[in-house]
Chain A
Amino acid sequence: MVATLDLDDMQGLITRGYSTLRWASFLMLSITDPAGARAALGQLTPRVTSGRAEPSDTAVNLAFTADGMRLLGLETPGPEGFPEEFVSGMTDPDRSRFLGDTGENAPRYWRWGGPATPPVHAVALLYARDEPGLGRLEAEVRQVALATGSLAEVVRLGTAELTEREPFGFRDGISQPLIEGLPKATAAGAGSAAGGEVVKAGEFVLGYPNEYGLLTDRPLLPPPHDTAGLLPRVPGGTGADLGHNGSYLVFRQLRQDVEAFWGYLDEATRRPDGSGDPDARDALAARMVGRWPGGAPLVHAPLRDDPALATDNDFGYFATDRDGLRCPLGAHVRRANPRDSLDPRPGSAESVAIGRRHRLLRRGRAYADGGPGGGTERGLHFLCLNANISRQFEFIQHTWLNNPNFNGLYDSPDPLVAPRRNHRSTFTEQAEPLRTRRLDLPQFVSVRGGAYFFLPGLRALRFLCTATGEGGQR
C-alpha cells in the first residue's frame, strides 16, 4: 500500500531541490539565548516553505543540530530519543575516523562545525530565483532571526548560481531516487524500468514505512510535553511524535581541487612524446566518475560522450558490465549506487531491493568563494536527506565510497571523492587483455565543514519555536 504523504507538513526540501530557484545560501546559526531564539525562529516559521506547491520566487527551510535541539529545550531522553549518530554528531572522534575525516580532513581544520569554530545549532537554507532576490531574502531572514541577538550567524555559505555541472565539470543531479507517493514516482509506475528508482517514503521521511515495511526510530515525547496538542500522536500510544514528516539533513562542505584534478589527469594521459591528449584525459576522468562530463553513463556510452544519453539513468551493471570493462568497478557512481551488483544474487530484483536500503536524496549546491589568498575555492555543499543516517549516508560514505576493498578491489577508495589518508590509493581501469592501474592517486576533495541536522516537519517546527516558549521546560 502506498502511504499518503502529508506534503503540507513537510519542509519543501524533501519533495524538491528547488531547481528553478538558482541562487541559494546557507546561514549557520548559533543560539545564544534559547528563549529569544525560540521567539525569533517562531517568527521565521511562517516563512518556511512546505512540500506542497513549487515555490515561485523564494524558499526557506530550517534544520537543527542535536545541540540546537537541546538548547531549544528538547531533551528526548531514553529509548524514544534521537539516534546516536545524530546525538553525538558528525565530529565525534570515532565517527570522524569512520567517515574518513582525519588528517587534513579533520574537524579541527574545518571552517565551520568543528571544535575550533563557534558551535552550529541551526541552519537556515535560503533559495531565490535571482541574485537580488536572494539578497532581499537574506536581509529579511537576518532581520527576523538576528535582530534580538539571541541567534548569531556563525557563517554564511554562499553558492554559485545553479547550473547542471558541478565544479569538476560533470553534469550532476541525474540519478535521484523517487519517493513513493509523490506524483513523479506514481507517473514512473512500479512496473517500468525506472520502477527500481521508486523508494518507500520512509527511507527519507520519518513516520512512513521504510523499505523494511517498518517505521524508522524517531523522537517521541511522553505526554506531558505537548499539552497544546500541536504534534501528531503516536498511533496506539500516548506519546507525541516529534519526528513525523521530518528528516535528517547531512551537510558537508567539500572543497574540490579543480586544478589538481585536471592537472593530474593531464599528466597521467600524456603521450610518450610529452604532448597532451585531451581525449584520453577526458576518458580517464569519465572512468573515475562513471559518467561523461555531459552525463552519459559509461555503461551505455563506453567510448565517447553522447549528448543523447545526457540524463540516461536506465541501466544496471551486472548484465551489461559485470567486469567493469565499460564502467570501472571503482567509479564514483558505481560505488555510490551499485544498482544490481550487490550480493547475494547480483543481477536480481533482490539485489536492487537491498540497494534501495542505501539511497540518498541529494540536495547539494556548488560554490565558488573568494579564498583567503585571493584565489577562489570551489566545491560542493553536499547536502542529502535520509531517515537513517547510519544505514544510508554513513554506510555509503564508509562501506562504498571510502572502502579501499569495495567490489573486491585493493587499495582503491573512491577515485573522485574519497580521502587518501596514509593509504596507497589506486585506480584501476579494467580492460582486455590487460587493466591499467593508476597508482598513488592524489586527493581531490577535502572536507571543510559539516554537521548532521534534523529537518523537522512544520508542526514540529511550530512546537519547537512557539509552544509555551517562555517556560523553557515543556
Chain B
Amino acid sequence: MPHQSAVTVLATVPPDRVDDVREVLNEANRQGAGEVFRFAEVAGVHFARLVLVPQGPDSTGTLLPPSVVYMSEVDVPPSVHLADLVRRAGDELDKVFAYCDGYPAGGASEGERVAWLRSHRVPCAAFYVNTVGRGRQQMLNEARLREAIEDFLDRHRAELSASSPTRIRAAVQEYVTGREDLAWARSRPASPALRWRIRQAAHLLGVPLGGLVLLPFLVIGLPVWAVLLRWRERRDVPSRERPDRDHVRELASYEDFAAQNPFTAVGAVKPGRFRRGTLTAILFVVDYGVRHFFKRGNLAGVKTIHFARWLFIDGKRRVIFASNYDGSLESYMDDFIDKVAWGLNAVFSNGLGYPRTRWLVLDGAKDELAFKHYLRSHQLPTQVWYSAYDTLTTHNLRTNARVRAGLFGTLSPAETEAWLALL
C-alpha cells in the first residue's frame, strides 16, 4: 500500500519562448489534460498540473526567469512516476519542455528524458496529504463499492426498511460477498510499507530531539528574533494592489468545472536573510506538523484540502504554494480567514506585500479583502489540471472509506446504526 508523494519538476524557459509554452499548455487544456497526458493510465496519479511561472521580480527588483512547472500527487516513488509518465506521454512532455535548456530532444531515449526530468526535480519544503496512505485505487474502489451498496439498497428498500439495522447490514454483506468484483472489500486496506513507517517514526522523534539540543540557542535567540520580527512587521509595506481584471478573468476561466479546484500561487520572499530564515524554519515546522499530526483529513480545522505543498524556487527568493481543494476559491479563502488565518500568516507574511501581521500570526489574513486581493494577485492560471476523482470531495472520500471499513467485522447495534446512516 502506498504513501503519497509530491512530484515537482521545474525548468526555466527562455523569456522569448514563454508564449510558445503557453500555447502548448492551452492546447492541452483545450483537448483535456487527462486525454493528452493519459494520467488515468499513469499509475497512482491523484492530481497533476502544469503551470507557467512568469518572469518576475524578487524583493529587490531583480528579475527572476520564467519557468514551466509540472506537479503531481502520486502513490508511487517520484522516479517511478516520471518513468511511467514518459512512457505514456513522452511526446507531449517533449512539447512542454522542448525549449528548456538541455532537454533531450527528439530521438533521445526514454531513459535520457527521465534522467533530465529527475535532475529538474524540486523538493517540497512541506507537503500536506489529506489522508496519508489512502491511495488512488483504494479511493476509486471504495467509490464503486458505495455506489453498488446504494443501488442494492434502492432496489430492495421496500423489504429492507422493515428490517432491523443488523439485518440490513447482513443483507448488504451477503450482496457484496456475492460480487466477485468487490472481493477486495472483505479485507482492510493495507498500511504503508514498514520501511516508510519506520522512517516516519524516526522523524517524529528525531526532530524534537534535535530541538532539545538546540534549545539553549533557541532560548537566547527567540527574544532577539521576536524583537527583530516586530520591528520589521511595522516597517514592511503591505501591498494595496487589487488583482488586475484580465488576470482575474483568466483565472476564472480555468476554475469551477469539477468538485475540486487547483490553486497555484507564487510570491517573492521579503528581502533579507531574516525573512528567508524565518520562512525556512516555519515551513520546517509546518512539514513536521502535517507529516505527523494533520494527516487524518483535517488541516487545523480546514477539511476540504486534498493536497497542498509549499516549495522554494529561484534560490529561495520565490515560493510556490499549490493545492487541490473542494469548492470555489471564494469558499477556500473564507475557510482560510475563518479557520486558519494564523497558519497562513505564519507562512505568507514572509512574502512581499502580504497584509500587515502582528507577532507573525495575528491580523494578516483577518483583513478579509486585502488578503483575498493578495491571493488573487499572486495566483497563477493552472492551465493544465487533472483530477482522478473530480466529483468526490474529501468528505465523500472519507465517507466511502468508512462505509468500507464498517462493512465486515463486528459492530455493536449503535455502531451498526451509525454505519447505516453513512449510506
Residue interface mask A372-407, B partner, CB < 8 A = 1: 000000000000000000110011001100011100
Q: Which of A92-107 contact B (CB under 8 A)?
A: 92, 94-95, 97-98
Q: Which of B238-292 contact A (CB under 8 A)?
A: 240-243, 245, 248-249, 252-253, 255-257, 259
Min Cβ gap A131→B in Å is: 42
Given known A217-B369, A398-B328, contact A433–B256 (CB-CB < 8 A): no
- On whether the beta carbons of B369 and A94 are closer than 8 Å, the reply is no
- On whether the beta carbons of B334 and A395 are closer than 8 Å, the reply is yes
Residue of B nearest to A344 (CB): B301
- On whether the beta carbons of B330 and A433 are closer than 8 Å, the reply is no
- On whether the beta carbons of B301 and A405 are closer than 8 Å, the reply is no
Number of residue pairs spanning A and B whose beta carbons lie under 8 angstroms apart: 102
A residues in contact with B417, CB < 8 Å: 432-433
B338 at the interface (CB under 8 A from A): yes
- On whether the beta carbons of A435 and B423 are closer than 8 Å, the reply is yes
B16 at the interface (CB under 8 A from A): no
Residue of B nearest to A353 (CB): B338
- On whether the beta carbons of A94 and B253 are closer than 8 Å, the reply is yes
Given known A94-B252, A98-B328, A405-B393, contact A212–B163 (CB-CB < 8 A): no
Size class of A's contact patch? 35 or more
Given known A390-B330, A391-B330, A430-B421, contact A405–B369 (CB-CB < 8 A): no
B26 at the interface (CB under 8 A from A): no
Min Cβ gap B119→A in Å is: 38
B residues in contact with A79, CB < 8 Å: 240-242
A residues in contact with B259, CB < 8 Å: 404-405
Min Cβ gap B261→A in Å is: 11
| Complex Cα–Cα for A399 and B331 (A) | 7
Q: Which of A401-459 contact B (CB under 8 A)?
A: 403-405, 408, 410-411, 430-437, 439
Instruction: Name the one of B248, B252, B255, B328 contacting A399, with C-beta atoms under 8 angstroms.
Output: B328
Instruction: Summarize B's interface: helix, strand, loop or mixed.
Output: helix
Given known A88-B249, A404-B391, contact A436–B157 (CB-CB < 8 A): yes
B residues in contact with A212, CB < 8 Å: 337, 366, 368
Min Cβ gap A356→B in Å is: 11
B160 at the interface (CB under 8 A from A): yes
Most chain B CB within 10 A, of A92, A94, A430, is at A94
Residue interface mask B129-164, A partner, CB < 8 A = 1: 000000000000000000000100110010011011
Instruction: Name the one of A343, A357, A434 contacting B420, with C-beta atoms under 8 angstroms.
Output: A434
Given known A79-B242, A212-B366, A344-B339, contact A434–B157 (CB-CB < 8 A): yes
B396 at the interface (CB under 8 A from A): yes
B residues in contact with A15, CB < 8 Å: none
B residues in contact with A343, CB < 8 Å: 301, 303, 339
- On whether the beta carbons of B327 and A403 are closer than 8 Å, the reply is yes
A residues in contact with B249, CB < 8 Å: 88, 92, 94
Min Cβ gap B162→A in Å is: 9
A216 at the interface (CB under 8 A from B): yes
Instruction: Name the one of B160, B245, B327 contacting A434, with C-beta atoms under 8 angstroms.
Output: B160
B residues in contact with A410, CB < 8 Å: 396
Min Cβ gap A337→B in Å is: 16
B399 at the interface (CB under 8 A from A): yes
| Complex Cα–Cα for A78 and B256 (A) | 27
Residue of B nearest to A390 (CB): B330
A residues in contact with B153, CB < 8 Å: 434-435, 437
Residue of B nearest to A434 (CB): B161
B residues in contact with A390, CB < 8 Å: 330
Min Cβ gap B92→A in Å is: 27
| Complex Cα–Cα for A434 and B163 (A) | 9
B367 at the interface (CB under 8 A from A): yes
Q: Which of B335-379 contact A (CB under 8 A)?
A: 337-339, 366-369
Given known A405-B393, A439-B154, contact A214–B367 (CB-CB < 8 A): yes
Min Cβ gap A348→B in Å is: 12
- On whether the beta carbons of B328 and A433 are closer than 8 Å, the reply is no
Residue interface mask B83-97, A partner, CB < 8 A = 1: 000000000000000
Min Cβ gap A109→B in Å is: 21
| Complex Cα–Cα for A282 and B339 (A) | 40
| Complex Cα–Cα for A10 and B294 (A) | 48
A87 at the interface (CB under 8 A from B): yes
Residue of A nearest to B421 (CB): A323
Residue interface mask B227-247, A partner, CB < 8 A = 1: 000000000000011110100
B residues in contact with A216, CB < 8 Å: 369
A354 at the interface (CB under 8 A from B): yes
A84 at the interface (CB under 8 A from B): yes
Min Cβ gap A89→B in Å is: 12
| Complex Cα–Cα for A237 and B322 (A) | 38
A residues in contact with B75, CB < 8 Å: none
A residues in contact with B168, CB < 8 Å: 433-434
B395 at the interface (CB under 8 A from A): yes
- On whether the beta carbons of B368 and A214 are closer than 8 Å, the reply is yes
A residues in contact with B367, CB < 8 Å: 214
A residues in contact with B256, CB < 8 Å: 94, 97-98, 398
Instruction: Name the one of B150, B161, B331, B338 contacting A433, with C-beta atoms under 8 angstroms.
Output: B161
- On whether the beta carbons of B154 and A214 are closer than 8 Å, the reply is no
| Complex Cα–Cα for A97 and B261 (A) | 14
B73 at the interface (CB under 8 A from A): no
| Complex Cα–Cα for A417 and B212 (A) | 59
Min Cβ gap B3→A in Å is: 26
List 22 A-B pairs, Cβ < 8 Å. Answer: A79-B241, A84-B243, A87-B245, A88-B249, A92-B249, A94-B255, A214-B367, A217-B369, A344-B301, A344-B339, A391-B334, A399-B330, A399-B331, A404-B259, A404-B391, A405-B326, A405-B392, A405-B395, A408-B399, A410-B396, A432-B165, A436-B157
Q: Given contacts A398-B330, A408-B393, A435-B423, could you give 12 more A-B pairs where the C-beta distance is less than 8 Å?
A: A94-B252, A97-B256, A214-B368, A216-B369, A344-B301, A354-B334, A398-B328, A405-B392, A433-B164, A434-B160, A434-B161, A435-B153
